Amino acid sequence: MKKIFSLAFLCMLTAFSFSQELTEEEQKIYLQKLDSVNNSFTYQYGKISLQNGLAEINIPDGYKFLDAKQSKFVLSELWGNPPSEVLGLLLPKDISPIDDNFTYAVEITYSDEGFIDDEDAKNLDYSDLLKEMQEDTNSINPERIKQGYPAIDLVGWASSPFYDEENKKLHWAKELNFEGEDINTLNYNIRVLGRKGYLNLNAIGTIDVLPLFKKDVDNILNSVSFSKGNTYHDFNPNVDKVAAYGIGGLIAGKVLAKAGFFALLLKFWKVIAIAIIGLFTAFKNKILGKPDSEDVS
């Protein structure tokens, strides 16, 4: 079954399905480079400060952590995503970002868009919200196709939204289908609300990793918290900014503002890329010092 990660060519390389494109010497150089990259990672465990003490994560059992600098390298240099202010990556303990058995990673970021008023959470109809999101996704597809990207179908909830009002934590999962793909994509979203914004923990993988990830969701949720003075309950209405949207807007991507949602999908394009052979060629040429014959972005 074809994986949809932009790094999926590594799986193919392991099986040498592209070996006819490389000379023996090039294969040797390429594999040495992969080993070098793999050995360069320094993983962390235990309690780790995020965003200069704004929050912390206590790495859950079965996971390991890459700091911001290494995560930027993985996301941008290895996986080909645009630069982002990632705080770290959470990975299952037994895999590397370039393993052939890679399943998923959890990207951790912070949004300082203000305090999220959660009053609307009590009255949200998630079925209606899903329909609105599906309609907005469909309305964006003509522009995606125009720019050379495949249409996306928001199939439905892979896991219905759940808001923990007491702990101010929200999570849900979407099942997406990219036109031409024979396996759907999982986008699992976790939001931890704070005084001036929220932490984003986003897991992306193929839909078949959902059972694997769901068994760890509670541990991941419990591992992340804001520090004293930055929690949701520390909100001061006299000085703190309030976001322009509530829980419903947070789930829908701020009601799927057209430009914003399109930008989000572009951001994850190479994480969930389909042009695997093109990406393989570009990465191979980069390692071997050859000029790219074609822009695969």
SS3 call for 155: strand
End-to-end CA gap in the chain: 24
The CATH number for 9-288, chosen from 2.40.10.10, 3.40.50.300, 1.10.10.10, 3.40.1000.10, is 3.40.1000.10
Would the CA dihedral through 265, 267, 268, 273 be positive or negative?
Answer: positive
Say what the pLDDT of residue 230 is. 97
Task: Report the distance separating Cα 236 and Cα 53, nearest Å.
Answer: 19
Say what the pLDDT of residue 121 is. 93
Task: Report the distance separating Cα 140 and Cα 261, nearest Å.
Answer: 8
Task: Report the distance separating Cα 288 and Cα 280, nearest Å.
Answer: 12
What the block records as the tokens of 104 is: 């998923």
Sheet containing 55-58: order of strands: 47-50, 55-58, 224-226
SS3 call for 56: strand
Say what the pLDDT of residue 295 is. 37
Considering the entire predicted model, what is its pTM?
0.77
What the block records as the tokens of 99 is: 């393993």
SS3 call for 251: helix
The string of pLDDT tens digits covering residues 68-108 is: 998 888 877 777 666 678 999 999 988 887 766 677 889 99
Say what the pLDDT of residue 21 is. 63
Instruction: Pinpoint the alpha helices (H) of the chain.
Output: 9-14, 24-40, 68-72, 126-146, 210-223, 247-251, 253-256, 258-267, 276-288
The string of pLDDT tens digits covering residues 165-187 is: 999 999 999 998 888 888 888 88
Residue numbers of the chain with a pLDDT score lower than 50: 1-20, 255-288, 290-297
Extents of the domains making up the chain: 9-288
Task: Report the distance separating Cα 188 and Cα 174, nearest Å.
Answer: 6
> Residue 201's beta-bridge partner residues?
108, 190
Q: What share of the chain is helix, strand, coil (3-state, %, to 5)?
A: 40, 25, 35
